[in-house]
Every structure is written in structure tokens, then in C-alpha cells.
Amino acid sequence: MTALVTESRFPDPDRAYRALIEAHRGLSDQESAALNTSLVLILANHIGDHTVLQEALALAKQSIDQTQSASG
């Protein structure tokens, strides 16, 4: 049984996506990476569940692996 919720919980997912994109506007690549790192740590702390965090990390890693396989 999975503890990670992968269905959208936002009433307006596009608004959430736009907020994430807008947060990066005007940032350098280094600043954007720092923002992502900070956001991940803040949200991981908010979740506070190692099982959910491990599932999320595995899913994120899997999406990167699939993207790299498809492009190469």
C-alpha cells in the first residue's frame, strides 16, 4: 500500500503550476536550483513522513530515468 498521494489535490492545478513557474521568473540557473532545493526541504519537512518522502524520491528519480531513456 502506498502512502504517497499522486492525484492532484489542487482545485486549480494550472494555478499551482503557474505559481511554481512564476517563482523562477528572473532567476539565474543557480538561483533557480537554490529555490528548488529550498522548496524541497521545506515541503519534505512539512510532510514529515520518511515513507512518503522515500516514495516521492523514488517517483521523481523514476521520472528522470524515463525522460533520459526517451531522449537518448
**What are the sequence ranges of the domains in the chain?**
13-71
Give me the count of residues in the chain. 72
Q: Is the pLDDT at 69 greater than 90, yes or no?
A: no
pLDDT tens-digit map of 16-27:
999 999 999 999
**Mean pLDDT, all residues of the chain:** 93
DSSP secondary structure of 7-44: S---SSHHHHHHHHHHHHTT--HHHHHHHHHHHHHHHH
Mean pLDDT of the 42-67 span: 93
